[in-house]
Amino acid sequence: APGTYTIELKDSKKWEDGSATVYLKGNDQVNINLKQARATVMAMKPDPDFIVFIDGKPEKQNPFRVQPGEHDITFTLGGMSATETFNFEPGEAYRIIPTMSLSIE
């Protein structure tokens, strides 16, 4: 029926909350652009001097959020670093746990 309607998306794990108000005259079609929810990442830093980089940029918050998709995650401590590429899914929560080891021969 013609009229003004509010369309809401709430509590979706994969999509960001949002709303839109539309006025329909009759048999109208409505297109809504949805944004994927960002992934939440907690860096488990055993030392406060660990620095976390996302795609080469230092991340100051912990936990932090990233857009879904593939990202390079780098942990650095002093002169040592480890980098891993990971594909983050929308709305998921992740923990990054750095491990370092020695091989003695």
- Give mean pLDDT in consecutive 10-residue pieces for the chain, a chain of 105 residues: 88 85 86 87 85 93 93 89 92 86 70
Q: Catalogue the E-assigned strands of the chain.
A: 3-9, 18-24, 39-43, 51-54, 57-59, 64-66, 69-77, 80-88, 93-96
pLDDT at 16: 86
For the record, the structure tokens of 34 come out as 């949805």
Which residues are CB-contacts of 36 (< 8 A; sequence separation ≥ 6)?
Answer: 14, 15, 16, 67, 68, 90, 91
- Predicted TM-score of the model (pTM): 0.71
pLDDT at 102: 62
